[in-house]
Amino acid sequence: MSEIGIGTVTTKVPARLDRLPWSRWHWMIVIGLGTVWILDGLEVTIVGNLSAQLAKEGSGLEITQTQVAGTAAALYVAGACLGALFFGWLTDRFGRKKLFIITMIVYLVATAMTALSFSAWWFFLFRFLTGFGIGGEYAAINSAIDELIPSRYRGRIDIIINGSYWLGAAGGALLTVPLLNNFAVNIGWRIAFGLGVVLGLAILLVRRHVPESPRWLFIHGRDREAEQLVDEIEERVEQEKNVRLEEPAQSMTIHQRKSIGFGQIAHTMVARYPRRTILGFSLFVGQAFLYNAITFGYAQILSTFYGIDTNTGYFFAVIAVGNFLGPLLLGHLFDTVGRVPMIAGTYIGSGVLLLGTAWLFAQGALTSVTLTACWCVVLFFASAGASSAYLTVSEIFPMETRAMAIAFFYAIGTFVGGVAGPLVFAGLVESGVPGDTALAFSIGAILMIAAGLVEVFLGVKAEGKGLEDIAEPLSTAPADASR
């Protein structure tokens, strides 16, 4: 598709957004958009912890635990990959707000249908469609958050929001315990999916008040609407803080456009920013394989090696807390110490710790409790690193390609690690041989370390910089070209 131009305009919108102090308005953005990761964590964890229950006779589904942890998990991730690409393109073309509403609706419908599953094929179909909606959320939400949050806060907010996935994981893990123990085998798992629908509806209500990205508006020929929106935001912030915001000196001139073709998107990523493309791919493959392979199968590990099948939620909740504390406590360092040392350190550090865990597991030196403790430490660092992968690809490419860049790296990285990972990992765990499971741990560790080394050599120093300073918009024009 060829691009369609509109006109040329000079604007201070990016500078005006970046110089805003933190306010209640920003909290509304965080709550309305960031909470989607809680849903994703809830979804993945519920399925992982329910795998043994779903496989029991009388569950209402003729399905095996390996099919739940392997096939269904892989279909969920495959749906997320395709959804990211499809909705990512629509997000760049039609705007952030339309798509983060549509993708949430897709998620809600698919999750409700999952709760009504009556056979394995129905369960597989709607796990795929649930992933399709969640994948679209990643592209639309990350784009909007980075374009609305001031540059000096962007790193920590993005990382903490992505890390909030694990709040959902902890909640999902704890919810499965009473659902598995206090309800009939064919009822508890349906209630679990139903709770995801309730949470999604609450998020949708808040999300209605989140505005379109002013950055997207002025590039797509709606500069007056963008200026008016920023005027309203500034007025709210000034009233709350009782301050008078100074007019920023920095402005930019851009050629407005309605759309951008796939050819130019590909050229931008491959020809204009090849080093950044390699960086994004490496970070996503490393974290995706580690998380999608291991997270989907952790309940299977407890069941296979330790005979725990109904109380896996307690163990997973501990891991989830460690995962959330990593981004929460380390997030601000990505803005102060810097992107490169923190991303490289969290990737390499978690990989080394995981290799140690794999060796201990292969030696039979770990119990269910000590394995959980090891994982808690490993994922404290890995979670901050994984969250920084989303931050990286959302800020190092031009505005016009942001959603597609997020979608592309999420889809490619997650497909390599997330589809192959659960399928391979489920088979390795099913063998019941500790060395096979340790091999899966080791593969994930090596990929994390490799990604950390790529960051050392190709990382971008983006801390504290405006998005337009990190990657100049493709639409940028000489200042004297403005109308």
Nearest to 452 by CA among 335, 323, 353: 353
Q: Are 414 and 81 in contact (CB under 8 A)?
A: yes
* pTM summary value: 0.84
Residue type at position 182: N
CA–CA distance, 261 with 274 (Å, rounded to integer): 19
Cα–Cα separations (whole angstroms), residue 63 to 43, 50, 192, 311: 18, 12, 18, 20
The gap from C-alpha 411 to its chain's centroid, in whole angstroms, comes to: 11
Per-residue pLDDT of the chain (483 residues; tens, 9 = 90+): 344 446 788 899 999 999 999 999 999 888 888 777 787 777 777 776 677 778 888 888 888 877 887 788 788 888 988 998 899 888 888 888 888 889 989 989 999 999 899 889 999 999 999 999 988 887 888 888 889 999 999 999 999 988 888 888 787 777 777 877 788 888 888 888 888 888 888 888 878 888 899 999 988 888 899 999 999 999 999 999 998 999 998 888 888 776 666 677 778 888 899 999 999 999 998 887 777 656 656 777 887 888 876 666 678 778 888 889 999 999 999 999 999 999 999 999 999 999 999 999 999 999 988 998 998 999 999 999 999 998 999 999 998 888 888 888 888 877 776 666 666 776 777 777 888 888 888 888 999 999 999 999 999 999 999 999 999 888 776 555 444
